[in-house]
Amino acid sequence: MPFELSTIPCLSDNYAYLIHDAKTGATALVDAPEAGPILDVLAEKGWTLSDVLITHHHYDHVDGLAEILAAHPARVIGAAADAHRLPPLDLALNDGDTVQIGSETGSVIDVSGHTIHHVAYHFPASKLVFTADSLMALGCGRVFEGTKPQMWDSLQKLVALPGDTTVCSGHEYTAANAKFALTIDPDNPDLISRVRDVTDKRASGLPTVPSLLSEELATNPFLRAHDPAIQAHLGMTGANATDVFTEIRTRKDNF
């Protein structure tokens, strides 16, 4: 049986996620922007936290951790290479390592770019990937520490996952991402209809995440640097995908 997934809005535009394994009772939190909303969901569901998976060191992904651990002592998991700037880790992992949450095995994917040693967590049986500030709905994270080519390489690891994987990203940035995406890929009918859907959801106060990887492949300009229509629109026909991605990311930085 796949994990039960709970998407939890935190702070002004962050998301945390809980995954619950009904078979074993294990419950893992992905990122801890703030304690209150996460503790509320744990109480409502009657779940006891067993594990916390941290994606990267930014405050809006870890600041709630101490308060959550005070109520739910849990195993804290993160990137070994970032242990010096993450909260204390009980399990420090590297790219390609596996992590057991209840009855399910996940894998750690290094997706450096937004930060160096940002990691994603993939749970193939439940078809979930937690991408935080790497791959986002209609977007990707701003490149603070790595290089844009490095972010492109990181995104390639995520696009290699099955298309029916659910992408659980870290922020509600989709409406702004949609506006930008239309400047890059204005004639893409899948994008146009997704933007309509995003606008409707936000007007109703609904989250636009998680999304499906197949949907990102069809509409997210940051994954579509190979696309001839986008290349033509940017005057970059025949350019290599890394350069096209770099141009798209640069335009977004200045949007």
Tell me the backbone φ, ψ of residue 205, rounded to 5 degrees: 70, 20
The pair of three-digit structure tokens given for residue 227, joined into one six-digit string: 């696309």
Q: Are 86 and 78 in contact (CB under 8 A)?
A: yes
63 binds Zn ion (CB under 5 A): no
Q: Are 49 and 25 in contact (CB under 8 A)?
A: no
As to burial, measured by CB atoms within 10 angstroms (0-12 exposed, 13-18 middle, 19+ buried), residue 252 is: buried
Q: Are 185 and 193 in contact (CB under 8 A)?
A: no
Residue among 58 and 224 whose Cβ is closer to Zn ion? 58
> Which residue of 17, 18, 32, 58 would you call a contact of Zn ion, by CB under 5 A?
58
Total of residues contacting Fe ion (CB under 5 A): 3
Q: Which stretch binds Fe ion (CB under 5 A): 54-62, 76-84, 89-97, 194-202?
A: 54-62
What is the separation of C-alpha 218 from the centre of its chain, rounded to a whole number of angstroms?
A: 17
Residue among 18 and 132 whose Cβ is closer to Fe ion? 132
172 binds Fe ion (CB under 5 A): no
DSSP element (H, E) containing 31: none
60 binds Fe ion (CB under 5 A): yes
Minimum CB separation from Zn ion for residue 142, in Å? 8
34 binds Fe ion (CB under 5 A): no
> Which residue of 34, 51, 63, 133 would you call a contact of Fe ion, by CB under 5 A?
133
185 binds Zn ion (CB under 5 A): no
Instruction: Kindly list the residues in this chain that would bind Zn ion in the complex (CB under 5 A).
Output: 58, 133
Instruction: Kindly list the residues in this chain that would bind Fe ion in the complex (CB under 5 A).
Output: 60, 133, 170
